[in-house]
Structure 1
Amino acid sequence: MTIKVKTTVALTGLLSATLLLSACNKDQQTTAHQEQQSTTSNDAIGQIKQIPIKQFPATADDAHDIAVLDDYDRRFTEMSDSMEMELAKMKEANSLTPEFEQQRQKDNVRSALNMLKELELKTEQGRYIQGLLYEYWDNQAKVLEQSTLSSTTQNTDTAKQVDHLNEYLHAQSQLHHWKNSQPTETKMQKE
């Protein structure tokens, strides 16, 4: 039950972030386009499928890699939350420009990629999760770059975005499964 709630929360947050990243020229969009985008987003939610958990053999380094991935997730979440609060304050003060917002989004994605590159993981499963996360953020960087280059409203391939979101959610599920498969004493040591 807990994984379903976490997956739902992660899905909602990630889909919102994906839509936020995809909405480059939102001030120039027409109401009809916004309605079509909303319909597309709802269709995308229906396309999300849970990828089966990949099985890996247990190793002595599992606890290390889980701790490293948890630390990455905590640090990245704190950084993202801080950025979102900054943007919200600027929007409230009417000082947020679309260019600045997009630059901060690019900075956030670049930070995720750099943080993932710096992880020193020792297990195949840890590197697998790292690769899934890296691929997701690399694709987000490409979406942002496309929206910068495009002078018209961006036309993203929703199916590709959903596939990338599926991979991100799979990485989160894989890590959750890995944590839960650890012996109880190992879990207690991490806390």
Structure 2
Amino acid sequence: MAAVTAHVTPQERARGEDVGMTRVLSKPLSLRDLGQALSEVTGTEWGGKAWSGSELLAGDAVPDDIRRVFRESCQASVATLCRARDADDTAAILAELHALRGALGVFNMQHMAALCMDLEQDVRANGVRACSTGVKQLCDALQTSVISPPESLHDLLERMLSLADAKAPEDAMAQIAVLARQAQQRLRDG
């Protein structure tokens, strides 16, 4: 049994081990860290690299079924965020942003995770109504970069240009930044 927590202090680790946890891992958890821990716990050999290839893990490919589940999960998060925004439900927004931030961290989408964290802080400080635009921008960025990502570098650039040419380009800046990071990663990967 393993635990994942954002607060891994020596005391927390000891408490987890006292109740039977084989490993206590810290957030944000990467698939690579999880693979290493599972390898150690099960006594199997770890090759040090989970997969090789795609954009979701900043250069590491994932199997199609995991990619599909991640995209479906993000799509469900977008729906939940929109419902919570429309209902002015602070607790639901904060819970969904926290869960989404963790999922994005696992897939090494740190910029998107940081957007979630910033939005969480804004919602706590100012309420849901004051952050409605931020919720929409995050949902749009998720749609653009995760749920329906561009297939090629050319498509990435076309999408960035169309966002920049929009009537309210300042609202599109988060999406453009995410797409620019994807383009940068694709250029690095060759």
- Tell me if both proteins adopt one fold, taking TM over 0.5 as the criterion: no
**Higher percent of residues as helix:** 1
Structure of greater relative contact order (alpha carbons < 8 Å, 6+ residues apart): 1
**Higher percent of residues as strand:** 2
